[in-house]
Amino acid sequence: MRKFLTLFLCLLVTAGSLLAQPRTVKGKIVDENGTPLSGVSVLVKGTQLGTSSGEDGSFTIQVPESAKSLSFTAVNFAPLQLPITNNMMVKMQRGSSDLSEVVVVAYGTTKKTNVTGSVATISGSEVADKPFTSVDKAMQGAVAGLQSTSSSGAPGSATDIRIRGIGSINASASPLWVIDGVIASTGDFTVNTTTANVLSSLNPDDIESITVLKDAAATSIYGSRAANGVILVTTKKGKAGQTRINFSTEIGDNSRAYDPKVKPLTTAQSVTVYQQALINAGYAANNTDANAIIFDPVNGFGVDSTVNTNWYNVVNQPHASQQQYNLSLSGGNDKTQFYASGGYFNQDGTTLNTYFKRYNGSLSITHHVSDKITFATGLNGSTSEQSTPTNGGSFSNPVLESFFLLPWYSPRNADGSLKYNDPQGEFPLNGGIYNPLVQAAYNKNTAKQTTFRGYVSGEFQILKNLKFTSRYSGEYFNIQEDQYRNPFYGDGYAHGGDAFSAFTRVFDWTWSNFADFKQNLNKANDIYFDLKLGYEAQQYKYYTLQSGAQGFPSTLALTYLASAATPTSAYALPSGNATNSIFSNADINFKNKYVLSGSFRRDGSSVFGVNNRYGNFFSVGATWNINEEDFIKNITWINLLKLRASYGSNGNSLGFGNYQALATYGYGYNYTGIPGSAPSNIGNPNLTWEKNKPFDVGVDFSIFKDRLFGTIDYYNRVTSDLLANTTLSPTSGFPGGQLSNVGSVKNEGIEITLGGKPVVTKNFSWTVSFNFAHNKNRVESLFQNKSISSSPFYYTVGHDLQEFYLRQWAGVDPSNGDPNWYTDATKKTKTNNYSATQLALTGYSAAPKYYGSLNNTFVYKNFSLDAQLFYNYGNYLFDQWGAYLNSDGAYYGGFNQLNTQLNAWKNPGDITNVPKIIYGGNKNGYRTSTRYIYKGDYVRLRNIQLNYTLPGSLVKRAYLKNVTIYVRGTNLFTFGVDKNLAFDPEAGINGIGNLEVFIPKTIAGGIKIGL
């Protein structure tokens, strides 16, 4: 907390000097039923002076003496303008269909009437104060067609986001993020950390709004990087008026979100299962075979029936706490406005030695030099520390250990000390599965990140209808990673202890210069065009330094490389790319009825071949605001009826490397200690962008005074010139082939967002919204129509990119308990010989057919209840470690098994999916196949929050403006999960279970105070 307070006080001192004392106006804002309205924008007419109402609807604003009236705007309410009086009582009417509402779009803002593309907006309040380390995690279920999922529940972990499906094989399929004008880095930039997320450096509480751009009309102005959609993040800025201070804090507890019915065997269950497997193998006596060899599990496997260790409870992190604190200050006068904030976030994960801590601060200042010139600057900084364990098949993975360790092992000795180097072989010295408590206590694996994002901008109002903007924005971050594995036990034992360190630095900047020209074409000023023309340069620089060593002193006090005896690795390399662009955008508006839009961008990128370094991208869009027609205006129950359509092209230049187009040499091919070099990449001078051509048609509507509203979109996007390896002659010396532009894939789907207010009374209101997305993915073409293997997928023309490619399980033969498979894709013939089967496309896809959310808000007087249900249906999950945990006898005595083994075939006629268990295995029945494919359907109570706002009369006695207390549950319940699934159904975009840190359920309480 000391770092946090120091950071915030520095920002406070800087911002405090900007305060001024104009005339003070106070008031309260309510709806037509007298219910207080919070978050209403209050603006002095003819100026940029503004504020917003608090939780109790009250507002205070300082205005110039010359001010005559105030404007009031809010989402779902008609705008209102009133003369300034003392103690204003403002009553707003519901009317979200107002087309003068301003929305954030590429390179600025525009009126809602001018939007021809598919655009969705998330307010900052929807992502603030949530128990998530990064904003992308808070977006799950918020926007139709946006898929947000995390395979790992580790604090600070990476999140996968896809907008309208997957449109690439080897390049990135993630959207472009633009934060305050900077084209931001996203994803995991760590070298050795299991999972990390650059966006975790941004405090969601500092976000004003998020705009998701989905179709060509909205995205193509970003050209070569917009193929997978664009997410615009606008951070909070100051508003003129009385200085506002807001403080919020939250404290909670984390535990495992989903507790499956499929669990590891207990000791007693193991004895039962092992006894049956031994009997079936002829090694043990049963009641009917007196001549069989006597061999029981207790004596044969060293089972201690007095010990029954629940290894999940061992690796589970006790008292996994969650806490955050945020403090902000905003205000200013008609010349200068400011916003300053500071925050602290701390989250412990659900498994041992997982945590994330972040200190952050931000400052933004806007200064109006004159009516024509405005300058603005902002800086957002943070420092964080993250600890994560290994994942997957690593024997030091605590999640793996919770499944694989035998239940009759104990993590501690009789005297309570940690148990390792056990002479009985429970925790082996070299290789094998280790005691997770020792691993957590003696080893470390941390990543420390420092991040700065900032911008400087200037606006010059050259003429009344011509404005020029110049904005320089950039981000800098570095990541320091340190791994240490002790010399006494575990993975580091064989080397006398080992360590690895990495330093990663990224600096990128974006400089945008553009002019806005708006020209009225008639005297009524209701026919006009708006033209934007600009130039943009962007540069990205990356540097990494990595080193390793082994042979450490016999102490846990010395963990850095300086203490090691033998260096083992050293590596350093810079990398980078640059893009230069010209862009334009134009809207023609005819009486707010018809709008035609178009955009064009020409990008030049350093990452592509000399023959295709420049690309042209465009979009056209149109909208018809039918409700502005005279024949509709008289229909009082129609508030908004808008048709949209768009088509265009954009590209994908992200995520495949900076030098793939170049013929390069690599070093490290050394000989007798002399440095050696050899060709590493054949290059391709014709390499160019993946081209994306999306079509979209949509309708927006609002009826019955906005009691029912919604949006429906149909889209079809085809991505061509996919980046994929093409085969070369073996004599070329490049068996891996050459990266080329070949193939295409199509995503087609529908998105629906519906909302309504079924009940609106003086003391009670109910608002409900629902969003739904359906996407169909299909590979249209590939190089020479040859399929591409990417286990467990097999990219094939006519099939989904995420269709699993496996041997096909045919169940258990009820007559003898043998495992069966289909011999080939036709499924006409079965066999119990695994070697006689073929890999085949299964028809099971990791991509969901439908997903979305149901949201409800209930308000009764000073109480409110918000609840979100997220649903996911139609996809399948693959358990790549299921073969070890359902081995039918093959791994008995080495690894623990799942309790599904209790359902094994026993007698002729038994119907089950588990073959007859035989010690040593049953005809390879455990081998990888669709036996380990499970349904990925689930419904999750993603968020539920109960708020109580203290009465204004009580709050004012404490000289406060508003106080709200709340309790919240996140990932509280999960329903509809395949009963045979052993892990959380939220398994990431690829649908593969990889023994990741358990996704957390958080129960927390907090308070928000406004001064």
Residue 60 confidence (pLDDT) above 90: no
Lookup: tokens for 688 = 């160019």
Helix residue spans in 216-255 (DSSP H): 216-219
In 93-185, DSSP assigns E strands to 102-105, 108-111, 119-123, 146-149, 160-163, 176-179, 182-184
Q: State if pTM tops 0.85.
A: yes
Q: Which of 909, 810, 975, 1011 is nearest to 245 (CA)?
A: 1011
Whether residue 837 contacts residue 811, with contact meaning beta carbons closer than 8 Å, is answered with: no
DSSP, res 792: T
Whether residue 621 contacts residue 216, with contact meaning beta carbons closer than 8 Å, is answered with: yes
Residue 1 confidence (pLDDT) above 80: no
CA distance 411 to 668: 43
Residue 159 confidence (pLDDT) above 80: yes
pLDDT level of residue 283 (50, 70, 90 thresholds): confident
pLDDT level of residue 55 (50, 70, 90 thresholds): confident
Ramachandran angles phi, psi of 712, nearest 5°? -130, 130
Least confident of 72-81, 141-150, 798-807: 72-81
DSSP, res 567: E
Residue 143 confidence (pLDDT) above 90: yes
Mean pLDDT of 146-158: 94
Each residue's pLDDT tens digit, 843-882? 999 999 999 999 999 999 999 999 999 999 999 999 999 9
Residue 102 confidence (pLDDT) above 90: no
At 623 the pLDDT is: 96
Rounded to the nearest 10°, the torsion over CA 77, 83, 84, 89 is -50
At 13 the pLDDT is: 41
Bridge pairing between strands 744-760 and 708-720: antiparallel
pLDDT level of residue 299 (50, 70, 90 thresholds): low
Each residue's pLDDT tens digit, 359-392? 999 999 999 999 899 999 999 999 999 999 999 9
Percent of the chain with pLDDT over 70: 94
**HEC readout, 353-379:** CCEEEEEEEEEEEEEECCCCEEEEEEE
CA distance 928 to 883: 6
Residue 549 confidence (pLDDT) above 60: yes
At 634 the pLDDT is: 86
Bridge pairing between strands 355-368 and 336-348: antiparallel
CA distance 650 to 635: 40
